[in-house]
Amino acid sequence: MMKKIILPAFILLVVVAGCRPGSVPAAKPEAVSANAAQAQVFPDFKVKGFDGKEIALSQYRGKILILDLFATWCPPCRMEIPHFVELQQAYKDRVSVVGLSFDQGAAKDVQAFAKEMKINYDLYWGNEEIAQFVGLRGIPHTLVIDAEGHVIKSYVGYRDKAVFEKDIQALLGTAKQ
C-alpha cells in the first residue's frame, strides 16, 4: 500500500520541481514574468554546437526565442521536448526553439537522443555563463525571449505546451481574449 502512494508522489515531485544534478539546491517550480520595458536583455552568449563550432545566440534575434535548458536524463525535460517540437513546427516562421544540453556525456549521445525524440530545432551545449545568468537551479529551465532579446518569462520545471503557446501568442499579438 505504501509503495502505491510513495512512487506516484515521487514522480509528481520530479515532474513539478524538475531535475537537479547532485549538489544543486532544490528549486520550486516558478515563472518570472516581465514586460519588455523592464525585462533584462539576454546577453549575446556564444555556445558550441556538437561539431565544436561556436555560434552567437544573437543570431536568433528578430524572432521569438524559446530557450530550453535540458538534459537527456531528466524525465520532465523529456516530457517537454515533444511540446517544443510541435511549437517549432507550428510557428517556425516567427519563433525559434533552441535547446541547450547540460549533459556531461559525448555529443554522439545527445545527437542520438535528438534523433530518438525527433527534435526539429537547433541544439547546442549549455555552458556555465548561461547557467549563472539564468540562476540555473534545476532543469528543465525555459526562457521565453522576445524578438528584441528581452527575457519575458523564465520557467523552472515542467510546463505544458499551452503555457508556451500562450506566451508566443501574447508576443505575436494574437492572444485569444
What's 79's domain CATH number? 3.40.30.10
Q: Is residue 177 part of a domain?
A: no
Q: What distance in Å separates the CA atoms of residue 156 and residue 154, rounded to the nearest whole number?
A: 7
Q: Is residue 40 part of a domain?
A: yes
Number of domains in the chain: 1
pLDDT digit of tens for each residue in the chain (177 aa)?
444 433 333 333 344 445 654 333 333 344 444 444 456 889 999 999 999 999 999 999 999 999 999 999 999 999 999 999 999 999 999 999 999 999 998 999 999 999 999 999 999 999 999 999 999 999 999 999 999 999 999 999 999 999 999 999 999 997 654
Q: What distance in Å separates the CA atoms of residue 33 and residue 29, rounded to the nearest whole number?
A: 13
Q: Is residue 125 part of a domain?
A: yes
Q: Which residue range forms the structural domain that includes residue 100?
A: 2-19+27-172
Question: What DSSP string describes 51-75?
Answer: TS-EEEGGGGTTSEEEEEEE-TT-H
Q: What distance in Å separates the CA atoms of residue 142 and residue 69, rounded to the nearest whole number?
A: 6
* The pLDDT value given to residue 129: 95
116 contacts 48 by C-beta, under 8 angstroms = no
* The pLDDT value given to residue 13: 38
Place of cell 546577453: 43
Q: What distance in Å separates the CA atoms of residue 107 and residue 126, rounded to the nearest whole number?
A: 12
What ranges in the chain are assigned the alpha helix state H?
A: 2-17, 75-90, 107-116, 128-134, 161-172
pTM above 0.95, yes or no: no
* The pLDDT value given to residue 105: 87
Q: Is residue 76 part of a domain?
A: yes
Q: Is residue 139 part of a domain?
A: yes
* The pLDDT value given to residue 175: 60
* The pLDDT value given to residue 10: 35
Give the sign of the dihedral formed by CA 99, CA 102, CA 108, CA 109.
negative
Q: Is residue 56 part of a domain?
A: yes
